[in-house]
Amino acid sequence: MAGDVKDDNQPYDDINITPMLDLAYVLLVTFIIMTTASVQGIKVKPPLTQAANNLAKPQTRGITITADGQVYLDAYPVSMDQLQSNLAQYKAANPNLPVVLKADAATQYDKVMEVLEVAKRLDITEIGLATKRAQ
């Protein structure tokens, strides 16, 4: 009996790290999911509207205009020439290319018109204007 007690009090030669590895893998997977779940984009404050069903279709290209007039195509800053050439490439691949224009409410009107003129020159007819629903 005394021998059994002495065996129980002996120090361990190795540590079982399997539960610690399981926890590390769970934390790693959670971290990966949380960081990739946030979609990167340009924040603007869209104008308010009562219209509903402003849903974008798949393969829709997004054009964003910030309050200071910077133009972004799918979250990448572009000039008007770059916008036209990139949209022309997308239009060649998809003749019914849908485009959503999201502009800040404080954006100069002429910048929005420039983007719409580029779309008109490329014969892009499916253009949606993103707005925020008024409460």
User: For position 100, which CATH number holds?
Assistant: 3.30.420.270
Residue carrying the six token digits 């009090």: 9
Number of domains in the chain: 2
Confidence category of residue 37, pLDDT binned at 50, 70, 90: low
Q: Tokens for 19?
A: 């539960």
- H/E segment holding residue 19: helix 18-37
The verdict on 27 and 7 lying in the same domain is yes
Whether residue 28 sits in one domain with residue 57:
no
User: Per residue in 50-100, pLDDT tens?
Assistant: 665 555 446 788 899 998 889 999 888 999 999 999 999 998 888 888 898
Q: Do 71 and 30 reside in the same domain of the chain?
A: no
Nearest-angstrom CA–CA distance, 110 and 118: 12
Would 43 be classed as within a structural domain? Answer: no
Mean pLDDT, residues 108-122: 90
The span from the first CA to the last CA of the chain, in angstroms, equals 78
Same domain? 84 vs 109: yes
Query: Can you give the pLDDT at residue 93?
Result: 87
Is the pLDDT reported for residue 31 higher than 90?
no
DSSP of 47-101, one letter per residue?
PEES----PPPTT-EEEEE-TT--EEETTEEE-HHHHHHHHHHHHHH-TT--EEE
Let me know whether 63 and 95 are in one domain.
yes
For residue 85, the model assigns a pLDDT of 93
pLDDT, tens digit, 9 for 90 and up, residues 118-133 = 999 999 888 888 887 7
Question: Same structural domain for residues 75 and 20?
Answer: no
What residue numbers bound the domain in which 10 lies?
Answer: 2-37
Question: pLDDT-based confidence at 36, cuts 50/70/90?
Answer: low
Residue 58 lies in a domain: yes
**Residue 110 lies inside a defined structural domain of this protein:** yes
pLDDT at 71: 92
Same domain, 80 and 15: no
